[in-house]
Amino acid sequence: MRVVQFAGWSKTGKTGLIERVLRVVPEGMTAGVVKHLGGEHPFELEPGRDTTRFFTEGASVVTGIDGEKGVTLVRADSLEAALDRLSDAGCDLALVEGFKTVPFARVVVGDLPSERAVLRDPAPEEVIAALDRFDEYHSMRGLLLACRRAAGVRDGIECTCRVPADPEQADDRVHLAALESRCRAVLGVIGAMVHGRVYAGGGTILIALIARDPASAAAALAEFETIANGTTGPGGRE
């Protein structure tokens, strides 16, 4: 999933630009949006609604569903958790409005100073044309979905694993490609994808793989963990 962050001072047109980008998203590409509501004007829940009452009484998550859509309230939410949900849902593109302190590659609207500005005041078509210049972000489930699409298979044993990593390693494409190649080379592995993620100053390396049988899956995970743990410490399977 590509993350395109839109940053700028208040009232500079970020929301309008995101709306126009959504109109030109290519057919077959699924887009999601995360908006920073800010601290000065928090989102007000509609009084008297059942979902509001459940949330007020302490529910951690409340979901309301009608015949066309659903809405979910999540207590103590974060940008990382929101991006995980979009990736879990199979989104190819996440458009993020705000969160100026989070250092994703970004589209800058107006004259906001930024070290990671890919585009400044672009046309919506320019944003779509430049997607490969923006950061990739995958949840564990999202990476597995991408692995299945790349391998073109629906069956097989699926496994995921992640290990904490030095941010430089998690951002080292050569290292990540070598990990992926070694895992794909294991006999019985149908597909494997390795993704490095750097967020909030920390690094994580994730793998999703599909194998013909449990023994092949276990062998590929062992290969991944042996190489990754040589420099990153203990990991965790899921």
* SS3 letters across the chain: CEEEEEEECCCCCHHHHHHHHHHCCCCCCCEEEEECCCCCCCCCCCCCCHHHHHHHCCCCEEEEECCCCEEEEECCCCHHHHHHHHHHCCCCEEEEECCCCCCCCEEEECCCCCCCEEEECCCHHHHHHCHHHCEECCCHHHHHHHHHHHHCCCCCEEEEEEEEECHHHHCCHHHHHHHHHHHHCCCCEEEEEEEEEEECCEEEEEEEEEECCHHHHHHHHHHHHHHHHHHHCCCEEC
Confidence band for 47, pLDDT divided at 50, 70 and 90: confident
State the average pLDDT for the chain.
89
Domain containing residue 154: 140-237
pLDDT in tens, 86-137: 999 999 999 999 888 887 999 999 999 988 999 999 999 999 999 999 999 9
CATH code of 40's domain? 3.40.50.300
**Residue 150 and residue 129 share a domain:** no
Q: Rounded to two decimals, what is the model's pTM?
A: 0.83
**Is residue 219 scored above 50 in pLDDT?**
yes
Which of residues 136, 167, 187 is at a domain's end?
Answer: 136
Number of independent structural domains in the chain: 2
